[in-house]
Amino acid sequence: MPKPLLELKDISYSYHSLLAETPALSHVSFHINPGEFVAIVGPSGCGKSTLLSIVAGLLAPEEGTISFQNPDGSLHYPKIGYMLQRDHLFEWRTVYQNAVLGLEIKKQLTPENIENVLKLMKDYDLYKFKDKKPSELSGGMKQRAALIRTLALNPTLLLLDEPFSALDYQTRLTVSADICQIIRKSGKTALLITHDLSEAISLADRVIILSHRPATVKFEVPIHLSLPEDSSLAPRNAPEFQYYFNLLWEALSDEKK
């Protein structure tokens, strides 16, 4: 068994104001193995973004522990890449200048890192648009540019907070498959937050269902879709897709009752 890259044990968190306390997470536990793509699905307002903020180190849990392990079992704090709902590309910078922004800020604009960004742009069909402004790109291309900006920093763990929700449905289907393929090719470990069950099943190796607020882990299932390696068949057409959909839908509907 591989050692998990990320392990959360009994994480709880509440928001406090002068008037009220809002419990957001209650004893949440799960792990992610290196190279795994895990999706977390839960009802709106259940605490998904709070959970990502805790994993990203932006919020400290009130209870529980969060640990990151190297393959040899030693603990470390990994480089985390965060992809948000909007691409947040700067309009006054070209696509290339946006893609190297993180490297620039971190003063890591080395010839090797620049070469890597240009290679990613070539691999993912953005190279010929590198001198354009973001407004000249389609929604999907903007998301690809944002992902390249994130991958440029060579993160160990990618956090994806509903990264396709600003796209229209048609675009969303192709862009999510595209982005997923890029992440898989890069061998990165990824944690995706989404409220779209089909998206979670078609992209992830494992899906975790959260309960209503305060979120707890309600259900968890590994996804195995039988698609031949060279198949152009979309994961949504795999024979097992409907089975997983019904299984997870039931867990979520239970939640709604």
Residues that bind ligand ADP (CB under 6 A): 15, 22, 24, 42, 44-50, 213
Closer of 47 and 134 to ligand ADP (Cβ): 47
Closer of 95 and 190 to ligand ADP (Cβ): 190
Closer of 151 and 159 to ligand ADP (Cβ): 159
Q: Least distance to ligand ADP from the beta carbon of 211, Å?
A: 11
Residue/partner pairs of 247-252 with CB below 8 Å, 24 or more apart:
247/221, 248/41, 248/197, 248/200, 248/201, 248/207, 248/209, 248/219, 248/221, 249/197, 251/209, 251/218, 251/219, 252/41, 252/43, 252/197, 252/209
Q: Which residues contact 242 (CB under 8 A, 6 or more apart)?
A: none
Q: Least distance to ligand ADP from the beta carbon of 45, Å?
A: 4
Q: Least distance to ligand ADP from the beta carbon of 8, Å?
A: 15
Q: Least distance to ligand ADP from the beta carbon of 59, Å?
A: 9
Closer of 46 and 209 to ligand ADP (Cβ): 46
Structure tokens at 214: 């305060």
Residue 236 amino acid letter: R
Distance in angstroms (rounded) separating the CA atoms of residues 155 and 158 = 7
Q: Least distance to ligand ADP from the beta carbon of 53, Å?
A: 8
Closer of 103 and 193 to ligand ADP (Cβ): 193
Distance in angstroms (rounded) separating the CA atoms of residues 88 and 85 = 9
Residue 9's nearest CA partner among 53, 73, 52, 65 is 65
